[in-house]
């Protein structure tokens, strides 16, 4: 199937656009990554942390971007009260609005808990036909099967309640638009189609487990004629690059939903957001952490509702009051993929041979029976392979495509899977073998943590490179047959790959088990229901300790077939 050529690729993402993108994208490299040079966040990360130590301004918690650092003399001068007061008034007003909204949220949570304890419910007589279930599904056959099983479970429970069946929608079927997975572009469709006869849009992931009768009781507590944004609340424990250091003074103040527990929008809120979307098109920039970005858009700097935490929306499911839970076991569909069926390519450069490669070899390299280190310098002590591609200061597109060519044209053309990682990626190959058992290498599979660029205006999704990029052999063959290539050696490789696969009609398959950043950059409550496959970056952490804590092989990884419930039989 012919794909986009170099000219088409350049038309969609010119070198200038990519330069701006690389400067603004999260891409998540907090220290110099493989290949040398600062990778998109190093100085920003250090400045953000210095600002958190220095700044005490109340408005810092409300700004998505960190404020500028004060000059050393600023702290020594007496405050200029007359000049500062007028400038602070709008900020104090905004802070007060957020504080009041937070108090409303606290009251609502307390009221919800009291109602749950007493068994009371409000007179909001919705039934199941008033709920539209939206499963955040993907088009890959494994994910379609999981979503269909959840849909069947929801409808079966509805039959048992002898109620009219609700609508259960699969997200990937609703639109062929590249950015449909970001949810917001679909709100106008929900508003037009369901606003007359429905009260709620309830979103959930493929592995969310729903007790439909309990969920119905929960939603009846909330007046559906009002604007509600419901979910299990997450918050940042410290400001993080993946959220652009938002609310850097007090990261805990902003709550966003854990999609795994399910989340809900009332129809009046959907209608309001639809009106806003029609008047103000979505910005065409990066989609990094969808759940946080959706919450920011809905809150609208205080113009919209903050998330209302609902205690019955759960991920652990151990409490009897939970209406939802989450399947947190590592996917396993038959036997794990054989070690020899996975080829691992580590991108590095001469300057990191001495510090990063030893960590790779000390931690996860022994799990990979087929592994090579690709560099700008042949070092027989490791050993490394010199690809003949000069080292670059930012993107490494030339190096990545040279790896792909080598995989296809040399001795690895019959290997089922190719994994490309950075030299500061920490990964569990044993868990990856389990995960890949659910995918068919004969299909074009491009797997990892999904980001988006320009999705509001015809952009594309891509697998962010730091957490690891997984390619089926068929995906590599189709990509290289298309002649879609880098427009320059230092182009961002992960974004160019996303652009090329988008042109080929090969979707990115997302797995939240891959992580572009470190464990400390994610809420611990979010990580608690995962069996992670990878993390990225060594910055300000002990990578050996992180690997031992989060990724080292454990008995349950080896005996997963015996200890995990069959994915085909569950539900």
What 3-state class would DSSP assign to 302? helix
Give every strand in the sheet of 342-347, ordered side by side. Answer: 384-386, 371-375, 342-347, 417-422, 469-472, 446-448, 508-510
Question: What separation in angstroms does the CA of 443 have from each of 16, 284, 493?
Answer: 34, 31, 22
Q: What is the pLDDT, as a whole number, of residue 288?
A: 96
Both structure tokens of 292: 């946080």
Q: Directed axis angle between helix 212-219 and helix 141-160, to 10°?
A: 70
pLDDT band at 124 (very low <50, low <70, confident <90, very high): low
Report pLDDT digits (tens) over 284-303: 689 999 999 999 999 999 99
Q: Directed axis angle between helix 473-481 and helix 397-409, to 10°?
A: 110
Mean pLDDT, rounded, for 317-323: 85
How many CB atoms are located within 10 Å of the residue 162 CB? 6
What's the mean pLDDT when you consider all of the chain? 82
First to last CA, the chain: 38
> In the predicted model, is pLDDT for residue 82 greater than 90?
no
Q: What is the pLDDT, as a whole number, of residue 64?
A: 40
| CA 450 – CA 182 distance, rounded (Å) | 11
How many CB atoms are located within 10 Å of the residue 569 CB? 7
The least confident of 62-71, 113-122, 348-357, 436-445 is 62-71
Higher pLDDT, 85 or 335: 335
Mean pLDDT, rounded, for 343-363: 97
Higher pLDDT, 499 or 22: 499
Q: What is the pLDDT, as a whole number, of residue 412?
A: 55
The least confident of 106-120, 304-318, 322-336 is 106-120
Mean pLDDT, rounded, for 38-53: 44
Report pLDDT digits (tens) over 379-398: 999 999 999 998 887 889 99
Q: What is the pLDDT, as a whole number, of residue 328?
A: 80
**C-alpha angle with apex 276: 272 to 278, nearest 5 degrees?**
120
pLDDT band at 166 (very low <50, low <70, confident <90, very high): very high
Both structure tokens of 467: 């957490």
Question: What separation in angstroms does the CA of 160 have from each of 155, 163, 207?
Answer: 9, 8, 22
* Strands 263-266 and 200-204, sheet pairing: antiparallel
pLDDT band at 214 (very low <50, low <70, confident <90, very high): very high
> In the predicted model, is pLDDT for residue 59 greater than 70?
no
pLDDT band at 60 (very low <50, low <70, confident <90, very high): very low
Residue spans of alpha helices (H) in 124-178: 141-160, 171-174
**501, HSE (Cβ side, Cα atoms, 13 Å):** 28
Report pLDDT digits (tens) over 496-508: 999 999 999 999 9
User: Rg for the chain (alpha carbons), in Å?
Assistant: 24
pLDDT band at 103 (very low <50, low <70, confident <90, very high): low
| CA 229 – CA 119 distance, rounded (Å) | 23
Q: Is the Cβ–Cβ distance between 35 and 399 less than 8 Å?
A: yes
Percent of the chain's residues with pLDDT above 70: 74
Mean pLDDT, rounded, for 309-325: 92
> In the predicted model, is pLDDT for residue 98 greater than 70?
no
The least confident of 2-11, 477-486, 511-520 is 2-11
Both structure tokens of 419: 């994994």
DSSP designation for 248 = T
């Amino acid at each position: 199937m012919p794909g986009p050529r170099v000219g088409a690729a350049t038309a969609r993402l010119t070198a200038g656009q990519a330069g701006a993108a690389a400067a603004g994208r999260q891409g998540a490299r907090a220290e110099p990554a493989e290949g040398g040079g600062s990778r998109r966040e190093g100085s920003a990360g250090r400045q953000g942390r210095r600002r958190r130590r220095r700044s005490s301004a109340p408005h810092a918690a409300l700004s998505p971007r960190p404020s500028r650092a004060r000059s050393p003399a600023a702290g020594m001068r007496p405050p200029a009260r007359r000049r500062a007061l007028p400038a602070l008034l709008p900020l104090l007003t905004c802070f007060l609005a957020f504080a009041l909204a937070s108090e409303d949220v606290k009251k609502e949570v307390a009221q919800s808990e009291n109602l749950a304890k007493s068994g009371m419910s409000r007179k909001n007589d919705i039934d199941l036909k008033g709920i539209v279930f939206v499963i955040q599904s993907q088009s890959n056959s494994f994910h379609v099967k999981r979503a269909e099983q959840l849909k069947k479970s929801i409808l079966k429970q509805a039959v048992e309640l002898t109620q009219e069946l609700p609508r259960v929608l699969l997200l990937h079927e609703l639109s062929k638009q590249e950015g449909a997975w970001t949810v917001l572009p679909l709100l106008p469709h929900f508003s037009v189609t369901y606003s007359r006869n429905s009260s709620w849009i309830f979103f959930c992931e493929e592995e969310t487990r729903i007790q439909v009768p309990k969920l119905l009781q929960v939603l009846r507590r909330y007046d559906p004629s009002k604007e509600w944004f419901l979910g299990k609340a997450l918050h940042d424990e410290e400001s993080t690059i993946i959220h652009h250091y938002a609310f850097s003074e007090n990261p805990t103040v902003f709550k966003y939903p854990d999609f795994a527990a399910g989340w809900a929008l009332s129809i009046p809120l959907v209608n309001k957001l639809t009106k806003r979307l029609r008047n103000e098109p979505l910005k065409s920039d990066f989609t990094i952490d969808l759940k946080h970005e959706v919450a920011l858009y809905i809150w609208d700097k205080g113009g919209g509702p903050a998330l209302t935490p609902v205690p019955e929306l759960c991920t652990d499911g151990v409490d009897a009051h939970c209406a939802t839970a989450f399947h947190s076991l590592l996917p396993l569909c038959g036997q794990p993929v054989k070690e020899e069926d996975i080829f691992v390519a580590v991108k590095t450069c001469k300057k990191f041979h001495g510090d990063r490669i030893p960590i790779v070899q000390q931690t996860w390299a022994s799990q990979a029976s087929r592994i090579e280190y690709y560099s700008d310098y042949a070092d027989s002590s490791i050993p490394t392979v010199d690809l003949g591609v000069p080292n670059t200061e930012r993107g490494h597109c030339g190096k990545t495509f040279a790896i792909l060519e080598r995989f296809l044209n040399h001795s690895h053309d019959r290997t089922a899977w190719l994994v490309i990682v950075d030299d500061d990626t920490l990964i569990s190959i044993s868990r990856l073998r389990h995960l890949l058992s659910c995918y068919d290498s004969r299909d074009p599979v491009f797997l990892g943590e999904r980001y988006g660029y320009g999705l509001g205006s015809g952009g594309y999704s891509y697998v962010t490179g730091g957490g690891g990029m997984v390619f089926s052999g068929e995906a590599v063959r189709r990509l290289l047959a298309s002649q879609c290539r880098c427009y320059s050696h230092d182009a961002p490789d992960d974004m160019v790959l996303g652009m090329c696969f988008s042109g080929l009609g090969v979707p990115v398959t997302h797995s939240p088990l891959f992580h572009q950043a470190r464990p400390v950059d994610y809420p611990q409550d979010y990580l608690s229901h995962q069996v992670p496959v990878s993390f990225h970056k060594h910055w300000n952490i002990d990578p050996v300790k992180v690997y031992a804590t989060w990724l080292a092989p454990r008995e349950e990884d080896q005996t997963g077939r015996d200890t995990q419930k069959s994915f085909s039989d569950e539900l």
